[in-house]
Amino acid sequence: MKTLALVTMMLFASTCAAGAVELKLGHFAADGHPCDVAAKQFKENVEKRTNGEVTISLYGNNALGSPPEVLEQVLLGAVDMSLSGQDQIAKHLPFYDVISTPFGFKNYDVADKVIDGPFKTWADPELAKKGLVHLADWEWGFRQLTNSRHPVNTPADMKGMKIRTPPAFAYQAFVEAAGGNAVTIAFSELVMAMKQGVVDGQENPIGTIYSLKLYETQKYMTIVNYTYSSMVHLVNKKSWDKLTPDQQKILTEESVNSAKLARKLLRDSEDTQLKDLQATKGMEIVKPDLKPWKDAMGPAWEKVKARVGADNFVRFMAMVEAAEK
């Protein structure tokens, strides 16, 4: 009887192991970045709540390639999940560039209301047509300017500067409207480009500037909050269909929980990081009047409108207006 019981237990364990689903998650956050911390929470909680029947293999810090490459792998099914920037998704769904409209969101509260609400309702069916399941939007943050030359208070101070941007349409439109020269450099090459002086400056959220130690080469920061960006948690539909409904529910819930964690960590740390950047890292930080910047954005808005379509642009701005009430 003991032998029969042992064989039964072994067969049960074997069946469980065979039924386990491993999902690869690729993202571009550096080690220790709030989104890296959130990804680790996602992995731990999913594995715990599914009793190990779903395991998450994490590949952060561009381990699977550049952000656009990782999204391509998810679309092809070579990677199961990604945390992809909205600008990367816009390569496949151009309307996504409305999110990056310069000065489209005035604060985090408005961004949350739009992205978690009507924009997600709009985006989910379009992503589904590409074979993607949209779980939640994590955080990357409002983007700021840094440079190695001199303080930038107005667009006129930026004239002629070479500013690194990712291959992101709306970010480049902002730099050009402000009078700078946009230079496309991959995220994985950003730090080296700064060290080698390939460009004068770059734009990224405070947390990214801090975690990548860009203060080592960028002495000046301008707080402009010119656009908001998030990491969109996407799953290949075929990978999603390997999961039971209960497992799908767990993944969705834990993605939302990790999105909340990433947002809290990033937002709570910004003031502390700014103080440290100024007090101990030697950065000069200015918070200029934003009116001249917004006034200069006419050409950028027209470019975004032409890129996404006038109807889509109007639809997005109506969402923003409703969220501001």
Instruction: Work out the average pLDDT over 300-320.
Output: 97
19 pLDDT tier (thresholds 50, 70, 90): confident
Q: Is residue 70 part of a domain?
A: yes
Q: Is residue 74 part of a domain?
A: yes
CATH of the domain at 82: 3.40.190.170
- The beta-strand segments (E) located in the chain are 21-26, 54-59, 81-85, 132-137, 141-147, 162-165, 181-184, 201-205, 220-222, 228-229, 231-236, 284-286
pLDDT, mean over the chain = 94
Q: Is residue 98 part of a domain?
A: no
Same domain flag for 152 and 287: yes
Q: Is residue 99 part of a domain?
A: no
pLDDT tens by residue, 205-252: 999 999 999 999 999 999 999 999 999 999 999 999 999 999 999 999
Same domain flag for 164 and 213: yes
The pLDDT of residue 72: 98
- The residues, ordered by sequence, that sit 6+ positions from 19 with a Cβ below 8 Å of its Cβ are 53
Q: Is residue 192 part of a domain?
A: yes
Q: Which residues of 282-300 are buried (b: 16+ CB within 10 A; e: fewer)?
A: ebebeebeeeebeebbeeb
- The beta-strand segments (E) located in 171-319 are 181-184, 201-205, 220-222, 228-229, 231-236, 284-286
pLDDT tens by residue, 83-137: 999 999 999 999 999 999 999 999 999 999 999 999 999 999 999 999 999 999 9
- Number of folded domains that form the chain: 2
Same domain flag for 41 and 128: yes
Q: Is residue 100 part of a domain?
A: no
Is the distance from CB of 296 to CB of 177 less than 8 angstroms?
Answer: yes
34 pLDDT tier (thresholds 50, 70, 90): very high
Side by side, the strands of the sheet bearing 132-137 are 54-59, 21-26, 81-85, 231-236, 132-137
Same domain flag for 161 and 117: no
Same domain flag for 145 and 130: no
Task: Name the pTM for this structure.
Answer: 0.91
Same domain flag for 43 and 114: yes
- The residues, ordered by sequence, that sit 6+ positions from 17 with a Cβ below 8 Å of its Cβ are none
Instruction: Work out the average pLDDT over 261-281.
Output: 97
Same domain flag for 127 and 260: yes
Same domain flag for 188 and 303: yes
Residue 217 belongs to domain spanning = 141-227+270-324
Q: Is residue 318 part of a domain?
A: yes
Same domain flag for 135 and 119: yes
Same domain flag for 68 and 200: no
Same domain flag for 279 and 253: no
Same domain flag for 64 and 189: no
Q: Is residue 303 part of a domain?
A: yes
pLDDT tens by residue, 53-83: 999 999 999 999 999 999 999 999 999 999 9
Instruction: Work out the average pLDDT over 131-150.
Output: 98
